[in-house]
Copies of this chain bind each other. A is one copy, B any other.
Amino acid sequence: MGSPYSTQSVETGYRFSEAALSSGHQIYRIFFYHDGVHCANSLSTPPQDEDNLPELWQQLTTQYHVDVVVCVASALKRGILDQKEAERFDKDHFNLTEPFELSGLGQLIDASAHSDRVITFAS
């Protein structure tokens, strides 16, 4: 839920997920809420000596086939759009990174019901 490059929580969440997946645990879904939606911004261009967090999330979750969902209500107001939403709101551009998907809070509730543990990395 924290903002990348502003709070450490995104990095901590990433390291935790990496450790969980590489030691054989399953992650049902990662849900990006509140400022966490900025993690899916494909336009992020950090300096070369810093982690590219959207890219790292993309690689990790693709490798382990983890579902990554961005809260659509949080994302729209914060300016994170996929192509479909951009068209709907008549914007010339969009910036959602693949394989992130925009969806509703129902995906968070569904994940909570289908997981043994739910862990929040907050700002």
Contact = CB atoms under 8 A, between A and B. Distances in A.
How many copies of this chain are found per oligomer? 2
A88 B23 CA distance: 39
Contacts of A95: 43, 79, 93, 95
A38 B78 contact: yes
Interface string A107-118: 000000000000
Interface stretch (A12-20, A24-32, A44-52, A57-65): A44-52
Interface of A: 3-6, 34-35, 38, 41-47, 50, 54, 73, 76-81, 85-86, 89, 91, 93-95
A-B pairs with lowest CB-CB distance, top 3: A41-B79, A43-B79, A93-B93
